[in-house]
Amino acid sequence: MEATPGRERLIEQFKADGLNVMFGNPGTVEQGFLDAVDAAEDFTYILALQETVAAGIADGYARATGGAALLQLHSGVGLGNGIGMLYQSLRGHTPLVVVAGDAGVRYDAMDAQMASDLVAMAKPVTKYATRVTDRHSVLRTVRRAVKIALTPPRGPVFVALPMDVLDELNSEPVLPATVPLTDVAPSPASVGRAAELLASAQRPVVLVGDGVALSGAQNELAAVVELLGADVYEVDSSEVNIAASHPLRRGQTGHMFGPHSKELVGDADGVLIVGTYVFPEVFPELENPFRAGAKVVHIDLNAYEIAKNHPVDLGLAADPKQALRALAGVLDRLLSPQQRAAASARFDARTRERAREAQAATDDGSPMAVFLKTLAERTGGDLIVFDEALTTSPLVTRYLPAERPGDYHLTRGGSLGVGFPGAVGAKLARPDRLVVGFAGDGGSMYTYQALWTAARHGIDAKFVVCNNRKYRLLDDNIAEYWRERDIPEHGFPGSFDLSHPEIDFAGLARSLGAGGMRVEKPDEAVSAVGRMLSHPGPFLVDIQI
């Protein structure tokens, strides 16, 4: 095979793995590689102004395509900038293939400018981190990284690419990575035992996470919960695992305080956990949240997550779709007429309850409510939502409920700045769909540069700032802190306030090449929807709350 420079062969390897788009921010130690990128055919470089933004766009792109995304960072300084966003991808199991350059293996002993241990930096926020040191193993290493990124539990991987190694001639074969199939079904005996543990529950609860969405098991999940008549709570959930309108869906458990989750499951006598661990909170419950005698079954393709924090009666390391399909079949044969009647009664009761809640719900007439209601009416709900609205999320999902897989992506991992770059990535992946990113004023300022990238590359994403002029979630959390410790309520810390100086988000958007409008009154919200939808390019609406 004819040898070519490693930097050129590397691009061919990326293309062989379907990675034809690379997100990044350039630097000197990557200049030779990026020069080759510029000359490559059928390969696109999406420029971001800062590595956090590039990582967020790549994450959104991967989530919207369901495949891997390619991210280039600049040496140690750029990797450092991207660490927080890579943590989001790690917690959310996003398959990112991350590469960063360094000056070269020949300079390892010199402690040169910008020199750093890139692998050590990347390890805490990736599944796999390595450095190529020999020209004969560049493509081999990349294929391994791609395989690891896409093998459940998915996640980001990192490869450091020294400039001198990429400059050398390379004759490695260009072959696509082999990703193992993991649609593993549990044994009939295991499924039978799971069904027996759950069938007699009178107060069943099902806890689900994004392992359901990754497996495409939404229909199988619905079949099981309907057979059991079980309340469903989404736990580590940032995708559509069950339709928001399903009568048995009870919402999210929350990601902050363990006692809240314990209250939701404390009375359950049968618990099925699928595609998540229990419970992913900042301050989790240290004691077993399940009542004594409750039967607990845990299904996950990631065996590490099964019974990680609390004991279960049965753990099944299996693909959720395969396991739930088999479980539904056994339950359908096993349930007695009395058990079926009880499950049906629970289903009917929840259906009536949801109907009462919908009838009792009223519009508060706020600009945000009017905007969301108008957007839902104008689009018929046919849009993709990238939701980092945090304290405004309940209002967003009330008017724009997450019904279909791929139509809703929620922030995950805990750091701010996901919403706007995520929307850019999702729109690039789904150019045929309307994509709207929601973020608070605090979160949007982390990564507002994403609007520039959208304008530069003609990515027609839309953005909404839920502007309450504060880090509102911190207000809510410290109020809980005060209650737990019997501390009298008092003024919130000044560091939570963002009211002065005031940020002109619409003006900022215009300065970055996007359209922008500020909304202060309900009637302005109606016209804002029209302007946003008709604008030929990225557009931001700043809604005062």
> 141 with 222, same domain?
no
Residue 274 sits in which domain range?
188-360
3-state secondary structure of 90: helix
> 353 with 374, same domain?
no
Question: Quick one: pLDDT at residue 114?
Answer: 83
Q: What percent of the chain has pLDDT over 70?
A: 100
Asked if the structure places residue 519 within a domain, the reply is: yes
- Mean pLDDT check: name the lowest of 99-108, 172-181, 517-526: 99-108
> Mean pLDDT for the chain?
96
Provide φ and ψ at 455, rounded to 5°: -65, -45
Asked if the structure places residue 386 within a domain, the reply is: yes
Q: What is the secondary structure of 17-63 as a DSSP string? A: TT--EEEE---GGGHHHHHHHHH-TT-EEEE-SSHHHHHHHHHHHHH
Asked if the structure places residue 183 within a domain, the reply is: no
> 376 with 450, same domain?
yes
Asked if the structure places residue 176 within a domain, the reply is: no
| Residues 76-89, mean pLDDT to the nearest whole number | 96
Asked if the structure places residue 182 within a domain, the reply is: no
Asked if the structure places residue 219 within a domain, the reply is: yes
Asked if the structure places residue 510 within a domain, the reply is: yes
Q: Tell which residue, 467, 457, 466, has the closest CA to residue 538.
A: 457
Q: What is the pLDDT of residues 253-300, one digit of tens each?
A: 988 888 889 999 999 999 999 999 999 888 898 999 999 999 999 999
Q: What percent of the chain has pLDDT over 90?
A: 91
> 103 with 13, same domain?
yes
Q: Tell which residue, 283, 58, 314, has the closest CA to residue 189.
A: 314
| Residues 475-488, mean pLDDT to the nearest whole number | 92
Q: Tell which residue, 56, 35, 42, 38, has the closest CA to residue 12.
A: 42
pLDDT bin (cut points 50, 70, 90) of residue 363 is: confident
Q: Prior bond to 43 cis, omega within 30? A: no
Domain termination site, one of 135, 170, 205 = 170
Q: What is the pLDDT of residues 85-101, one digit of tens each?
A: 999 999 999 999 999 99
Question: Quick one: pLDDT at residue 259?
Answer: 87
Give, in order, the Cα–Cα distances in Å from 383 to each of 60, 413, 434. Answer: 15, 24, 5
Q: What is the pLDDT of residues 125-164, one digit of tens each?
A: 999 999 999 999 999 999 999 999 999 999 999 999 999 9
> 418 with 327, same domain?
no
> 206 with 64, same domain?
no
Domain termination site, one of 170, 197, 219 = 170
Q: CATH no. for residue 276? A: 3.40.50.1220
Domain termination site, one of 170, 205, 228 = 170
Q: CATH no. for residue 386? A: 3.40.50.970
pLDDT for residue 210 is more than 80: yes
> 89 with 209, same domain?
no
Asked if the structure places residue 116 within a domain, the reply is: yes
pLDDT bin (cut points 50, 70, 90) of residue 109 is: confident
Question: Quick one: pLDDT at residue 449?
Answer: 98
Question: Quick one: pLDDT at residue 280?
Answer: 87
pLDDT bin (cut points 50, 70, 90) of residue 112 is: confident
| Residues 192-197, mean pLDDT to the nearest whole number | 98
pTM of full prediction above 0.75: yes
| Residues 202-217, mean pLDDT to the nearest whole number | 97
> 33 with 114, same domain?
yes
> 388 with 271, same domain?
no
Q: What is the pLDDT of residues 484-496, one digit of tens each?
A: 899 999 999 999 9
Read off the tokens for 8: 């050129």
pLDDT bin (cut points 50, 70, 90) of residue 542 is: very high
> 372 with 327, same domain?
no
> 160 with 128, same domain?
yes
Provide φ and ψ at 370, rounded to 5°: -65, -40
Distance CA 496, CA 90 (A): 27
| Total number of domains constituting the chain | 3
Question: Quick one: pLDDT at residue 1?
Answer: 67
| Residues 194-219, mean pLDDT to the nearest whole number | 97
